Structure 1
């Protein structure tokens, strides 16, 4: 049986034992299985700290940055092979562009940071601090690499970008990485890592790949290691409480469920460019990657007198979205990553629909182009929650797919309060042509969101949109 392979301790290897199968999300065809049985996890981490870490730490910022840039150029030349594999995850060409070339873009962006640093393995940060009156006793802050390994536990939705956005940062900082992609799409991550290793651009040991869930990965972490996790909040909290992490005080960064909100300004009535921008952005965030983005809009907060207008306009816009085989040019939305994820999504929508009403789409009916029910397809779903202050499910339950909910507000203070009821998100946006409305929202909502996009007729053509993380900015929640 075909198995995804691991790249550890300088070689490609297959684990023993029965693994977790992955399937083509469009055709249902078996692709491979992932297993970590038999891997020597402590030895893998030690290899990274020593073989990879020792070489990276000796390199200057300029050398690291130039290597990363060379890698970005190398991978970009080979991008088409990754698009072909990415179709099997259910992603369209546009969806895959975010993952593939967005991932390579992260390498370019982080490589460019070398211009801010000296041609040294360390960095003297800021101006000297005078600790005496005569300038004879002074202090400096310096930055040096940690002598550990960066462990990245990634989500299924961005198997390339999710890896490279993290690795680019730690390579630039002089730290090696051990990457654990989600098993269901690990075959795509493996394909990219094969090219990275074949390039010989990075020092040996700078990157190791474990395709699967290594439950003992934290048992031997050390105080100089760092951990990043992308996935569900429940899983993240469980991992973060691992006794070894607590004992060694290992930094743990978590990017988890995020009920991102987009607000339609009171001035953005039908007929204005802002109303149209709001509808177009909402459709895009629902359908791109079939809604499987951590930054997707889950809550649309609109003036109560515009609820019907938004519902009707968005429904008409979603009617134009063709669903099916993502390889076909006429298809605008592909599949979810797996049948299992479809079942999870349906369960979450059913939870939401106990109080909210489904006003667009059907969980059981869908028209497909070039595909059938063997694939993990679902219809876009739009819900309407008319009492969002009393019914809290919409602020607490995320349906990770092409699902969003509209809800009303009476004034901007209510809109801000509703946005904050999500208890913190990666991103929020407000669509308005009023500088006053935009300013009031940003200042009062900023505490609860990692990033706020202000969208209007002036910046729309240049804007990257609500859901696009930008490598030059800090990406995370509040």
Structure 2
């Protein structure tokens, strides 16, 4: 019998009362551990976090909480090797892909530790300047931000068990709000191990950080009006969350990051022999293959001028043909597995649906697997599809296949390209490629209203840009429309989700005491 991972709730380690759900190695197929949350007293656990963890965090200043984040960073860095082993076994990722998750999460945590130190020894944040309410300046209004007196419930996706935890927990803990994380079951092991290491180090106050692995049943029922929820996952699940009485009736604040059909566009000023064209081809392949395309920010649609469609097919296909797929423990493998058999089946079904409307330009199924049994391993090669009539490609603009899949589409002119991008109905990120600064700037502003980020890549930043799909803590992460309408990160902007804004109307003498 494999190990049943414990949950940490109410300040104690607790095992569920059921047999648990098995987590598997997606390459070798063997069972690794089990998770279960059956029988947990969620209401009591949430109350403990809310009352004990929240009070202890709020008693600290921003600078003191930032120092705690710095100590957590040290614990995570000391255990990196164990995290990499878990990621290889449970997520099937090659080392570079594991780094995106593990080191990316640690980097984000460290960034917020440094940002928090700049907020000083205070317990609230001023929001703008005081405003006079009448002719006499003695009576004024000052807006302040104070930590919400609730818990932050994180319902996370399977693709980033490390980064997904810390990119949300860092601003929440810095804000003074206790965290309860419910990781996706398929890859919960890494999240649980990280929380275990931090808890055992005794850095955070009791109740400040909790983890529940297994079913999410009942978790939304335990929410109270001043709690907050941050969800990453499918639009269907997001709709269920939004309709729950805690959100619909008790006004629990919710942040959603959902499906996103992100795009990359080569502007028409640059031809097939340009540096911008090469940068596009390189970035498309990277985004298709990093974490086997299992990124909410991955490129799904690639737009090029009509005259360059054939050349783009050739250039991207040539790079994809060099990608080795298989067992991530093998030194020559560049791309590992999808995280589970269920995800493998979902990608195959999505591909079958897209193939009915598109031509296969590069067939990843023809690539042999390295040191992996095709009958067992959840591996699939990168697949590039193509549609020559982008206007009629409704399915391509509406369907996200969450794996190493992208579709190439031609456009007539810049206006046509940007209109096609917007058919994604709101995305996390779009990237633009070209060398004309004015054209790039104009296109970026045109897309700004429908994207959380617009990533502009020109030859002068070829060695400097952070990547279409890389989420940096200094920049906004989220997107409007079908992407969920949420916002995360963005530096200190992320703290606003965990604060409540209040206008304090008083004499200037009283307002002067609010420093």
CA shift at 1:354, angstroms? Answer: 1.2
The CA distance in 2 between the partners of 1:62 and 1:99, in whole Å, is 26
Instruction: Give the match for residue 6 of structure 1.
Output: 7
Match of 2:378 among 376, 379, 382: 376
CA shift at 1:8, angstroms? Answer: 1.1
CA shift at 1:133, angstroms? Answer: 3.1
The CA distance in 2 between the partners of 1:301 and 1:180, in whole Å, is 37
- After superposition, give the CA deviation of every residue in 1:355-411 in whole Å (9 maximum; x if it has no partner): 111111144x44111222221100111000112212211111111000000001000
Instruction: Give the match for residue 399 of structure 2.
Output: 397
Instruction: Give the match for residue 438 of structure 1.
Output: 440
Instruction: Give the match for residue 503 of structure 2.
Output: none
Match of 1:180 among 166, 179, 182: 182
Structure 1 stretches of at least 4 aligned residues deviating more than 3 Å after TM superposition: none
The CA distance in 1 between the partners of 2:39 and 2:215, in whole Å, is 13
Q: How many residues align?
A: 477
- After superposition, give the CA deviation of every residue in 1:60-97 in whole Å (9 maximum; x if it has no partner): 00000111112112211221111111111111111011
CA shift at 1:51, angstroms? Answer: 1.3
Instruction: Give the match for residue 62 of structure 2.
Output: 61
CA shift at 1:44, angstroms? Answer: 1.1
Check conservation: 2:225, 2:246, Cα contact below 8 A.
no
SS in 2 for 1:91: coil
Instruction: Give the match for residue 153 of structure 1.
Output: 155
Check conservation: 1:154, 1:230, Cα contact below 8 A.
yes
Match of 2:465 among 443, 460, 463: 463
CA shift at 1:350, angstroms? Answer: 1.0
CA shift at 1:220, angstroms? Answer: 2.6
The CA distance in 2 between the partners of 1:122 and 1:263, in whole Å, is 43
- After superposition, give the CA deviation of every residue in 1:292-317 in whole Å (9 maximum; x if it has no partner): 00000000011111010010111110
The CA distance in 2 between the partners of 1:403 and 1:391, in whole Å, is 16
Instruction: Give the match for residue 72 of structure 1.
Output: 73
CA shift at 1:238, angstroms? Answer: 1.2
- Which of 258-267 and 2-11 deviates more? 2-11
Check conservation: 1:288, 1:333, Cα contact below 8 A.
yes
Alignment of 1:93-172 (within 5 A): 93-172=95-174
CA shift at 1:20, angstroms? Answer: 2.2
SS in 1 for 2:229: strand
Instruction: Give the match for residue 32 of structure 1.
Output: 33
Check conservation: 1:361, 1:380, Cα contact below 8 A.
yes
Instruction: Give the match for residue 412 of structure 1.
Output: 414
The CA distance in 1 between the partners of 2:54 and 2:271, in whole Å, is 56
CA shift at 1:334, angstroms? Answer: 0.4
TM-score with structure 1 setting the length: 0.98
The CA distance in 1 between the partners of 2:114 and 2:185, in whole Å, is 32
Check conservation: 1:264, 1:278, Cα contact below 8 A.
yes
Check conservation: 2:359, 2:385, Cα contact below 8 A.
yes
TM-score with structure 2 setting the length: 0.91
Gaps of 5+ in 1: none
- Which of 405-414 and 195-204 deviates more? 195-204
The CA distance in 1 between the partners of 2:159 and 2:395, in whole Å, is 24
Check conservation: 1:4, 1:186, Cα contact below 8 A.
no
Alignment of 1:350-365 (within 5 A): 350-363=352-365, 365=366
CA shift at 1:185, angstroms? Answer: 0.3
The CA distance in 1 between the partners of 2:114 and 2:265, in whole Å, is 34
Instruction: Give the match for residue 282 of structure 2.
Output: 280
- Which of 111-120 and 347-356 deviates more? 111-120
Instruction: Give the match for residue 492 of structure 2.
Output: none
SS in 1 for 2:84: helix
The CA distance in 2 between the partners of 1:113 and 1:60, in whole Å, is 13
SS in 2 for 1:349: helix
SS in 2 for 1:229: strand
Mapped pair 1:239 → 2:241: yes
Instruction: Give the match for residue 423 of structure 1.
Output: 425
Instruction: Give the match for residue 44 of structure 1.
Output: 45
The CA distance in 1 between the partners of 2:463 and 2:364, in whole Å, is 33
SS in 2 for 1:156: coil
The CA distance in 1 between the partners of 2:87 and 2:246, in whole Å, is 36
The CA distance in 2 between the partners of 1:213 and 1:419, in whole Å, is 37
The CA distance in 2 between the partners of 1:97 and 1:41, in whole Å, is 33
- Which of 341-350 and 66-75 deviates more? 66-75
The CA distance in 2 between the partners of 1:127 and 1:244, in whole Å, is 34
SS in 2 for 1:159: coil
Residue 81 to residue 58, structure 1, CA distance change in 2 (3 Å): same
Check conservation: 1:427, 1:451, Cα contact below 8 A.
yes
The CA distance in 1 between the partners of 2:275 and 2:71, in whole Å, is 42
CA shift at 1:419, angstroms? Answer: 0.6
Gaps of 5+ in 2: 481-515
CA shift at 1:118, angstroms? Answer: 3.1
SS in 2 for 1:427: strand
SS in 1 for 2:320: helix
SS in 2 for 1:219: helix
Alignment of 1:270-309 (within 5 A): 270-309=272-311
SS in 2 for 1:46: helix
SS in 2 for 1:126: coil
